[in-house]
Structure 1
Amino acid sequence: MKWVLSHINPIQGNENPTFDDMKYAIDIDEKWFYLNPDKRRLYLLPSEEDPYMAQQSRRFKLKAMFMAIIKKPLYGRNGELLHDGKYGIFPFTQKERAKKSSKNRPGGTMVTKPLQNVNREAIRDMLINKVIPAVVEKWLESLPKNVVIQWDNARPHQIPRDEEFIAATQAHGFNIEFVFQPAQSPDLNVLDLGLFRSIQSLQYQSFPKNVDELVEKVIEYYNNFKPEVKKYIWVTLQSCMIKILKAKGGNKYKIPHMNKKKLENLGILPNQIEVDRSIVLEAVEYLNTMFRPAPQGNHEAETEDTEVDAD
């Protein structure tokens, strides 16, 4: 609830407040993309052969982890697109020489292998060599260079802030800060709210046969993701934040649907959603009640007297 309230503009008079524009915040997250789903449903003509694809084991499905970077798209006063908010999606893979020959390639050929243990060192290397350079390269010059990158507080994200890392975040006049979302809050990251599922669905339709094709298709569908669709995810994010306040910080709610495409066609899709001021005030009062300090002094004395009388 504190996280949500920190993204709401102050209440002015009797008006309903709005969420801040979040145009300086970048969301990053990781996801495993599998080569194929567990099951597929295909419709075939009587003359068509059944498709066949073999895998070595169901227990060890071929997969690769990707780190995606995304930001709210920016538009000019006349509605022209200034920045699509895409900074890249990067796979955790490495090149190795094949130890043995096979029908697909001779021994010694360089092959792509996914990293199966994405630990703190791998995350740190990805941030320094891929994520931060991509942000510096594609950041709009008209925007201040104070950048907030938010992600969840998974244990591998607790990387050390050594001199090399700090220097990377402050290079070229930037001040890049990493902040952590509250624990167990997937609905507060726009990547979990839409982008990852969309890429995964399209990637399954492409039938990749190896890691190289998997990487190629995931990057292709990330690049083809439409900015106007990505804009909808931020509206959904703000709607989820309101639901979280109503649920007193819980997750017992359904992700709201607003017919955003229809609202945009009518020209009434909001960029910043209004929040009923009563919801905000109730949330603040609830937090004040939860964290109000217990009475001291006379209360302890009365408790001790009661215990003595009972004995």
Structure 2
Amino acid sequence: MEKARDVPLDKRITYKALGHAIGVNKNILLRNKKEGILRRISSPLKPHLNENDMKSRLRFCLSNLEDSSIPQEPKFKSMYNVVHIDEKWFEMTKKNKKYYLLSYEADPHRTCKNKNYITKVMVLAAVARPRFDSDGNETFSCKIGMFPLVHEVPAIRSSVNRATRTLVTKPITSITKEVYRWFLINKVLPAIKEKWLRESVGETIYIQQDNALCHIRVDDAEFCAAASEGGFDIRLTCQPPNSPDLNALDLGFFSAIQSLQQREVTKTVNELIQAVQNAFDTFSSIDSNKIFLSLQLGMIEIMKAKGNNDYKAPHMQKVALFRQDKLPTTLDCDWHLVTETMEYLNNVQ
């Protein structure tokens, strides 16, 4: 089995391929896996990072630490005033779905006209960190809103489903800066101003976006004018390039919403949008709060990896801590790690 270490990874994707490479029957490999000698892993593709990207990630992590009067006790900020936004495609169904059936049940027969053109809708989501009182009761939901990027157009011709000129909901296929700006000003900002806690209106609210080409600049004149209306101080900010692991939506919120959405059977775009909205409304704020703790855990791992994304997602037994009423609001960061990170940034050209 030690020969497997010298076999290229591309020749280790199946038992048959690995067995052929080292001259071993695949049943022997299966036995070794059962005994724990071999292990099967899933290797996801991660964004490529250059030196500037990694330095930006480190600076971002440091900027999320509190300015403590005691430098030996650094803690992460609560992140209550940050709204994470991002877009995601939601499909009506998946090419492959898993079901749990009884032994005598027949396999489901699923069909579509073209597997490469499954109906899907892009949704712009905005979430903040939920807030709870001392008794654990929710005082502010994290759910700012889910805004489908669609428009209504009249049907060109009659069909069995509708008459000519009936308004039909269609996904917006080309997301430009103008489209993105319109949704920010007319959808996201009003939702934030409507749902934000009245006693926190005067604080600065940051909308964190990624660096997609269709996103607007942080100093966009139209957005800044709309954001300042009503006594609010709302500002755009960008997360580091190629860093989906520093956005709460990509970190776990979207996958949870998609899992809930796939439980509903939909046949039209409007039904798909409603299923996504139902999933958004159903998702627990308690679980959303855990995602923000995972974000802080990830920042610690990023600093350990000198800004790289070559790290395993850390665990801190959040479910058990929540049951024991010991789940922290913010995490502590090792003072030596912070010092090493700052020295590394100062020394790297």
Normalising to structure 2: TM-score of the pair?
0.79
Q: In the alignment, is the contact (CA less than 8 A) between 2:224 and 2:235 conserved in 1?
A: no
Tell me the residue number matched to 2:231. Answer: 173
**How far is 1:58 from its partner?**
2.5
2:261 match: 203
Residue 133 of structure 1 aligns with which residue? 190
Q: Deviations over 1:206-226 (max 9, x none)?
A: 121111111000011101111
Residue ranges of structure 2 left out of the alignment (5+ in a row): 1-57
Is the CA contact 2:218–2:236 (under 8 Å) kept in the aligned structure 1? no
Distance 2:342 2:278 in 1: 44
- Following superposition, the deviation at residue 13 of structure 1 comes to 4.2
Q: 1:11 Cα shift?
A: 5.2
For residues 114 and 43 of structure 1, what CA distance do their matches in structure 2 show? 33
The offset of 1:41, in angstroms, is: 2.9
2:93 to 23, 33, 36: 36
Paired position in structure 1 for 2:137: 80
Residue in structure 1 matched with residue 306 of structure 2 by the alignment? 248
The reply on whether 1:192 has 2:250 as its aligned counterpart is yes
More displaced stretch, 93-102 vs 43-52: 43-52
- Aligned pair count reads 290
Range with bigger deviation, 122-131 or 142-151? 142-151
Tell me the CA shift for residue 193 of structure 1. Answer: 1.2
Q: 1:121-154 CA deviation, whole Å, 9 max, x = no partner?
A: 1101100110001011111111134211111111
Query: Percent identical across equivalent pairs?
Result: 38
Shift in Å, 1:67: 0.6
Following superposition, the deviation at residue 60 of structure 1 comes to 2.4
Higher mean alpha-carbon deviation, 89-98 vs 157-166, is at 157-166
Q: Which residue is 1:146 aligned to?
A: 204
Residue range with higher mean Cα deviation, 149-158 or 181-190: 149-158
Q: Is the 8 A contact 1:145 1:173 kept in 2?
A: no
Confirm or deny: 8 A CA contact 1:120 1:159 kept in the other structure. no
Counterpart for residue 82 of structure 2: 25
**Counterpart mapping for 1:232-271 below 5 A:** 232-271=290-329
SS for the counterpart of 1:8 is coil
Equivalent position of 1:296 in the other structure: none
Is there any run of 5+ residues in structure 1 with no aligned partner, and where? 292-311
Distance 1:49 1:189 in 2: 39
Change (3 A) 1:171 1:269: same
Residue aligned with 2:312, SS: coil
The runs of 4+ residues in structure 1 deviating greater than 6 Å are: none
**2:215 maps to which residue?**
157
2:218 and 2:237 in contact (8 A); partners too: no
| Equivalent in 164, 184, 198 of residue 107 of structure 1 | 164
The amino acid that maps onto 1:233 is I
Where 1:142 maps in the other structure, the secondary structure is: helix
